[in-house]
A = this chain, B = another copy of it.
Amino acid sequence: MNDNAYYGRYGGAFIPEILRATIKDLERIFDAARSDDTFWPEFSGLMSSYSCRPTPLTFAGNLTGHFSGARIYIKREDLNHTGAHKINNVMGQGLLTRRMGKNRVIAETGAGQHGVATATMAAKFGLDCTIYMSKTDVLRQRPNVFWMERLGARVIPVTSGSRTLKDAINEAMRDWSAHMDTTHYVLGTACGPHPFPAMVTYFQSIIGEEVRTQILKSENQLPSRIYACVGGGSNAMGIFSAFLADDSVELVGVEAGGKGLETGQHAARLCADGARAGVAQGYKTYFLQDADGQMKKTHSIAAGLDYVGVSPILSHLHDTRRVRFTAATDDDVIAAMELAMQKEGIIPALESAHAFALAFKEAPALSGDEIIVINQSGRGDKDIFTIADAFDDPKWKSFIIDHAAQYHA
């Protein structure tokens, strides 16, 4: 494949021959769109009339006071239509799907946010839609499944493999191999074969571009640090990309520390031992794998971070040390979420709460002149079943029990 498919040692397009023409086609369409002056305005116009871009950059006065360190700002991707940054990428790919003249889209989803976003885009663009979602995630993100179906999508629970996000990706690839003439695969994160990492980053870069304008306007100064959670890496690349050239801005990617890095039950590919470069799902990157190259089981309380690979662009930025990678455990995340809710009245998604957890840990050590920005990639409503269980809420339990009893009657 061509050179721009690689980021240092990572990236590429390790795909079955059957998909090659399609991927090449997508690359061509994407390149044409990117160099068409009308395309970005069309995209950002759509995002401001259908979703609510630019999303606000909220000053978190209470958290700033609480930690009495850096001034804390929160980028509010949770306010997007469908509740997360995923819609940015999806609407962009929707425009490309239209340019390709295809009438069907497929997608994988973990947290369900990408699935809901894709189902939404499909409704808006009048496309057929099939969503692959691991059985585990169908269970833990049931509300999102319900909405996908109501939006007109077919949701297929994937029971193969480790039943997490990667297995949903494999299934989507298999579907694509059979139906690429009519079907575009709307990959949900900055992973997969070229041109997906570049394309998803391109659409998500709207986040960082806005942050740059917003922070310069309100503070006339760049932030010292930017925190983003890292699943596949799309929200992180989205907010980081506008600051890559600014050496003074430290970029911090927060992975899923799960039950603790030492337990092996996590999804930390860049900040923990146990991940190595490898090739799977169509691209080369750091994967959590055993000596033979078989992918390991991952764990995170956040379905959207429970993934074995990571954006090849981030792998490269890891090796070059431009981005610092670290992890937050499930417990850190619940605590951070609680604090964010009670201090600022915001409800981060479990994924996003990873970024909050690290920012909270580090904010006190910074000075009051410094600014940090946390990317709130999504809202936590979708996580109610998980969070209610994490808080072990007795009223929620009896509500569910009563509700179930009605169904038995």
Contacts and interface: CB of A to CB of B under 8 A. Distances in A.
Interface in A286-344: 338, 341-344
Count of chain copies: 2
A147 interface: yes
A103 interface: no
Given A62-B124, A381-B143, A400-B400, A57 B49 contact: yes
Contacts of A403: 385, 400, 404
Contact of A152 (B124, B143, B342): B342
A174 to B, nearest CB: 23
Interface in A268-297: none
B62 A142 contact: no
Contacts of A338: 150
Contacts of A120: 345-346
Contact of A59 (B48, B49, B343, B384): B49
A28 interface: no
Contact of A151 (B76, B341, B396, B407): B341
A119 interface: yes
Contacts of A79: 51-52, 79-81
Interface stretch (A188-196, A246-254, A387-395): A387-395
Contact of A146 (B58, B151, B396): B396
Contacts of A119: 345
A404 B401 CA distance: 5
Interface string A143-173: 1011101111000000000000000000000
